[in-house]
Structure 1
Amino acid sequence: MSNHVELETTHRVPADFRLPDLVDAAPDSATRVDLRSHHLEALYFDTEDLRLAARGITLRRRTGGNDAGWHLKVPVGEGAKREFHAPLNAEVGHAPQELTRLVTATTRGAQPRPVARLKTERVEHVLHVGKPRKDKASKGKNGSQTAQDPAVIVADDTVTGNVLLGNDAGLVTVSWREIEVELAGASPRQGSVVEKRLTDAGAQRDPGGSKLRRLLGERLPTGGTAPDPTADAVAAVQSYMWNQVETILKHDMRFRLDEEDAVHQMRVATRRLRTVLRAFRSVIDRDATEETANELRWLSGELSPARDLEVLRERFADELARQPDAGENGVLSTAWLNELDARERAALDHAHEVLNGQRYFRLLDALEELRSTPPLHSGAQGAGSEPLSRDLLRAWRRMEKAHRHTETAPTAAERETAWHELRKAAKRARYAGEVSEPVLGKPARNARKAARNVQEVLGRYQDGVAAREFLTDNLTELAASVAEEDRPTTLFTLGVVNGLERQDADAILAEANEVWSKLPSSKRLAKRVA
């Protein structure tokens, strides 16, 4: 399966639209314009209720043209889609699992079926722009390697489509003409000049940018959008929840592609959502969201082992790399890190099982409903910014209370726990600041930054605590994972790493106290957000 990012825009034009002269449309001048004609036939797949189309995702089987095969297109920004390709297979009516698994979070495990058929008569105007690239091994009459020239592709499409849903499935035919502009190596500046030439001739930019969406028309369910977060407290909270759900859905696909940092971003989004449900009790009805908050905690817990092991593995490897005796022929051993790799793979396999399970799908359904129609606390609607001020201050006072416990805890173990609780309280205050910032402005922004500073320094401290606990709890297993003759060196190495972790702890706590001393008090913050 291959993939790339496609940059294209679509323009609506009447049937009698006359394409303007494109020879000199691109800056730096087009070296030439090649014409290519294609007959394309595409069968589009989706769930019965069109969940993919609602999110702007298309899954199709296409024949004809230069890229026949299965295509999955996922929006990644305005005018940009990440496109995945798979070869044609014998089963016309079944999309390949290698593609459908990537959108599992959207389909919730439902099997996509054919929902539309499109036929396109395409005339491509390929504008090669800039200086031709030289290639001695494969050159044309003028010495240029045309396949690698940066280009703008202007596709003039005449489209005929049928919807394959409902009682009139396949019976109604819809036709139209449209122009697509794709950047095939050319710069956005070059593409924008071509687009202006088209719009000056009467073409209208289509914000939907999808043949399927145009064909479906009123059948297309509305995916919804986040409200303006600057409007009031309710809009700020709802917009924040909306974006965190989007983060989960986005990184769910990246996780299934085994891309770096995906599981971390998913876990952060679940924690941010849970914070909103817990901390903003003046806006959200906490009782009505208790079950969802608990399920978010469950999901975060299921994703944590994979992320925690990834962090530990990188941490230990970095510490060993900084030691002069580390390395293949040194005194210190790295063979025991293989055990962490094995555990991380097992944790990732477990996470994949969780993300393919019905419990996860039910949580996603609940989150979709929550962000669209959140249950509000009585009096929140129309209350302006006051609920945000109240809840931000509550989170700040909670953080101050947690800090007092770090100063009064009687034992080292209890102080360690108190620092951990302070880190969690600082994270809650940081997220409260993030939610409030669009409405409360600078005071919330400053509070967010201050709480983040506390959270980050204590995060480093907690990473050290977790590392020491892991080494202590798993000493026997880590030593047993290497060859018998390597165990003495491994035990020595584990002792060295443990000592390094303890050595850093006091310095980090001193830094944490310094950072804390610069925080505004809740009384001062109250005056700023009033």
Structure 2
Amino acid sequence: MAPSVHAEVERKYDVDAHVALPDRRALAQLPGVAVVEGPAEERLEATYVDTAGLDLAAHKVTLRRRTGGHDAGWTLKLPVTREERQEVHVPLGPADEPVPEELLDRVRAHVRDHPVTPLVRISTIRQVHRLIGDGGALLAWLVDDQVTATPLRAESGTSSWREWEVELTDNGGRELWDALDEVVGAAGATRSGSGSKLARSLGEGAPEPPPPARLSRRSPAGDVLRLALTTQVEALKTQDAAVRRGAGDSVHQLRIASRRLRSTLATYRPLLRDPDAAQSVRDELQWLGLGLNTARDTQVMQARLASLLEQEPEHLVVGPVGERIAAELTERFVAGLREGLTLLDQERYFRLLDALDALVGAPLTARADKPAGKVIDTLLERNRRRLLRAARRAERAGDREQRDLALHEVRKAAKRLRYAAETAGPALGKPMTKLARRAKALQDVLGEHQDGVVCRALLLDLAASATAHGESAFTYGRLHAHEEALTATQETAYRQALAALG
């Protein structure tokens, strides 16, 4: 059975033992509430699991097996905002069952190949009140929990506390949410500083991510680098989970995340005390990107060819062109995706993630302590000059094939400049936004050019395959000619975009 997924919108409150729940009449007068049901008692037993290094807790993620109550089973909770989490649920199996792989896959970028084992057992005696609206729709729960937490690894003893939770359903609105907050606050409850029962039970043992730095031109250049690395590493981990569950264009986004990191490490290399370690990580990120290429490039070509074919007059589509394109490219995509997913479960990939985590806090050079404005301006100018040198080499290219290869290098240089400007944006402001926009314009023009290069080669392959099966290659020739003509029109756009950076 596939996991069920829903959004949990919840607030937790600390409350002393003597404090009484809000009066039922006060609850019944809340916006939209027609009936207050309860209390109904539930006895819950939950075992939370994590790695030895508390890698889930470090990312405010919880994974538990719970018995009792209406939602018994395995539950993975992933943070969205302070008050919202994505909840992924798998029904209970035997008492000795392992952690479901479908849940571990969603946090594989955090746990990697490290085992997850029991961390804390939490017992809860819960009094549940249900707030019902007109027509019988459930609007919210108000629960009163008596909690006992027993560490399963540490030698410290149990801890106990009382807390209230208010959880909003899809039927409840913001007005009810805020009114409930006022009512429970008036009763003597205060907002909890812990986002989960597990976080409270861990206390000082719970790792806390550092707050993001506020940057300006006077900030140390190293702070800009650390913020960029932290943000980009987390983006890569997020897309890892998305690829594993087959979400949207997640393969594309994971490849972008790896390329951004490669660009950041190249641009900021002078700030890293161990540039050889950074280069090793860049090499491994390139390996990751190459492993994703087949799946992503096939997606791009499938969409491009479908668009081209749609523009063809019906009488000029000779033979099963659409069917052949769909069949062959779907086969390529499935094989490429399989290759990518296999790569994401390799030890080599997990060690890459370890190395990325280490780089976020890696020692920096003395230059990293200097103001970002001066240091990063110099680094970006170096990237800009690198781009212009690549453009001059493209001008000197001998034949068309060499020029296509050279323009691809210009595109990669434009992408590095764009990504570097975007990482500098939080410190250097609007000038970086303008530079990133201009670099992206050049990148887009050359991206269209490169897609045309790839598409023409693919059309030749498809035409050969069609011919081998006794089909007409006429339409593939027309599409190839269209791509040829499109390439010829891109020269002006390329020169304009390049001039804006020159």
- The TM-score range, normalised by the shorter chain, is over 0.9
Corresponding residue SS for 1:335: helix
- Residue of structure 1 in register with 2:237 after alignment: 249
Corresponding residue SS for 1:77: coil
Which whole-Å CA distance do the structure 2 matches of 1:243 and 1:478 have between them?
46
Q: Is the 8 A contact 1:283 1:387 kept in 2?
A: no
- Quick check: 1:306 aligned with 2:295? yes
Partner letter of residue 178 of structure 2?
Answer: S
Corresponding residue SS for 2:475: helix
1:50-70, Cα deviation, whole Å (9 max, x unpaired): 211221111111111111111
- Structure 2 residue runs without a partner (length 5+): none
Q: Is the 8 A contact 1:23 1:29 kept in 2?
A: no
- Quick check: 1:178 aligned with 2:182? no
Q: Is the 8 A contact 2:318 2:475 kept in 1?
A: no
Which whole-Å CA distance do the structure 2 matches of 1:320 and 1:22 have between them?
65
- Residue of structure 2 in register with 1:66 after alignment: 70
* Distance apart, 1:259 and its partner CA: 0.7
Which whole-Å CA distance do the structure 2 matches of 1:520 and 1:200 have between them?
60
* Distance apart, 1:116 and its partner CA: 1.3
* Distance apart, 1:477 and its partner CA: 4.3
Describe the shift of the 1:23–1:254 C-alpha distance in structure 2 as closer, same or farther (beyond 3 A): farther
- Quick check: 1:505 aligned with 2:494? no
Which whole-Å CA distance do the structure 2 matches of 1:77 and 1:273 have between them?
25
Which whole-Å CA distance do the structure 1 matches of 2:182 and 2:74 have between them?
32
Q: Is the 8 A contact 2:442 2:494 kept in 1?
A: yes
* Distance apart, 1:227 and its partner CA: 3.3
Describe the shift of the 1:6–1:509 C-alpha distance in structure 2 as closer, same or farther (beyond 3 A): farther
- Residue of structure 2 in register with 1:264 after alignment: 252
Q: Is the 8 A contact 2:236 2:254 kept in 1?
A: yes
* Distance apart, 1:379 and its partner CA: 2.3
* Distance apart, 1:221 and its partner CA: 3.0
Which whole-Å CA distance do the structure 2 matches of 1:228 and 1:183 have between them?
33
RMSD: 2.2
Which whole-Å CA distance do the structure 2 matches of 1:330 and 1:196 have between them?
70
TM-score by length of 2: 0.92
Describe the shift of the 1:158–1:312 C-alpha distance in structure 2 as closer, same or farther (beyond 3 A): same
5 Å matches for 1:311-330? 311-325=300-314
Q: Is the 8 A contact 1:155 1:180 kept in 2?
A: yes
Which whole-Å CA distance do the structure 2 matches of 1:43 and 1:61 have between them?
5
* Distance apart, 1:305 and its partner CA: 1.3
- Residue of structure 1 in register with 2:368 after alignment: 380
1:437-492, Cα deviation, whole Å (9 max, x unpaired): 11111211111111111111211111111111223356434655xxx4xx423x22
* Distance apart, 1:303 and its partner CA: 1.3
- Residue of structure 1 in register with 2:453 after alignment: 465
Describe the shift of the 1:174–1:430 C-alpha distance in structure 2 as closer, same or farther (beyond 3 A): same
Q: Is the 8 A contact 2:66 2:73 kept in 1?
A: yes
- Residue of structure 2 in register with 1:136 after alignment: none
Which whole-Å CA distance do the structure 2 matches of 1:380 and 1:478 have between them?
58
Q: Is the 8 A contact 2:122 2:149 kept in 1?
A: yes
* Distance apart, 1:311 and its partner CA: 1.0
- Residue of structure 1 in register with 2:130 after alignment: 126
- Residue of structure 1 in register with 2:31 after alignment: 28
5 Å matches for 1:403-482? 403-473=391-461, 475-477=463-465
Correspondence for 1:344 among 333, 338, 352: 333
- Residue of structure 1 in register with 2:112 after alignment: 108
- Residue of structure 2 in register with 1:196 after alignment: 182
How many residues align? The count is 493
* Distance apart, 1:319 and its partner CA: 1.6
- Residue of structure 1 in register with 2:15 after alignment: 13
* Distance apart, 1:326 and its partner CA: 7.8
1:364-385, Cα deviation, whole Å (9 max, x unpaired): 00101111x1332332214442
- Quick check: 1:222 aligned with 2:205? no
Q: Is the 8 A contact 1:332 1:493 kept in 2?
A: no
Which whole-Å CA distance do the structure 2 matches of 1:252 and 1:479 have between them?
40
* Distance apart, 1:20 and its partner CA: 2.5
Q: Is the 8 A contact 1:23 1:32 kept in 2?
A: no
* Distance apart, 1:427 and its partner CA: 0.6
Correspondence for 2:58 among 54, 58, 79: 54
Which whole-Å CA distance do the structure 1 matches of 2:248 and 2:191 have between them?
35
* Distance apart, 1:167 and its partner CA: 4.2
* Distance apart, 1:298 and its partner CA: 1.0
Partner letter of residue 185 of structure 2?
Answer: T
Which whole-Å CA distance do the structure 2 matches of 1:174 and 1:409 have between them?
72
Corresponding residue SS for 2:423: helix
* Distance apart, 1:397 and its partner CA: 1.6
Greater shift after overlay, 32-41 or 459-468? 32-41
Which whole-Å CA distance do the structure 1 matches of 2:301 and 2:405 have between them?
20
Identity among equivalent pairs (%): 35
Corresponding residue SS for 1:380: helix
Q: Is the 8 A contact 1:232 1:439 kept in 2?
A: no
Which whole-Å CA distance do the structure 1 matches of 2:372 and 2:477 have between them?
57
Which whole-Å CA distance do the structure 2 matches of 1:516 and 1:27 have between them?
61
* Distance apart, 1:414 and its partner CA: 2.3
Describe the shift of the 1:433–1:86 C-alpha distance in structure 2 as closer, same or farther (beyond 3 A): same
Corresponding residue SS for 1:182: strand
Describe the shift of the 1:21–1:394 C-alpha distance in structure 2 as closer, same or farther (beyond 3 A): farther
TM-score by length of 1: 0.87
Which whole-Å CA distance do the structure 1 matches of 2:85 and 2:465 have between them?
46
* Distance apart, 1:91 and its partner CA: 3.9
Q: Is the 8 A contact 1:284 1:377 kept in 2?
A: yes
Describe the shift of the 1:352–1:520 C-alpha distance in structure 2 as closer, same or farther (beyond 3 A): closer
Which whole-Å CA distance do the structure 2 matches of 1:91 and 1:310 have between them?
43
Which whole-Å CA distance do the structure 2 matches of 1:267 and 1:200 have between them?
50
- Residue of structure 2 in register with 1:140 after alignment: none
- Structure 1 residue runs without a partner (length 5+): 133-143, 522-530
Q: Is the 8 A contact 1:332 1:492 kept in 2?
A: no
Q: Is the 8 A contact 1:72 1:84 kept in 2?
A: yes
Q: Is the 8 A contact 1:228 1:239 kept in 2?
A: no
Which whole-Å CA distance do the structure 2 matches of 1:409 and 1:330 have between them?
38
Which whole-Å CA distance do the structure 2 matches of 1:123 and 1:164 have between them?
26
Which whole-Å CA distance do the structure 2 matches of 1:410 and 1:189 have between them?
69
Partner letter of residue 145 of structure 2?
Answer: D
- Residue of structure 2 in register with 1:527 after alignment: none
Describe the shift of the 1:461–1:190 C-alpha distance in structure 2 as closer, same or farther (beyond 3 A): farther
* Distance apart, 1:223 and its partner CA: 4.1
- Residue of structure 2 in register with 1:279 after alignment: 267
* Distance apart, 1:44 and its partner CA: 1.3
Which whole-Å CA distance do the structure 2 matches of 1:347 and 1:288 have between them?
29
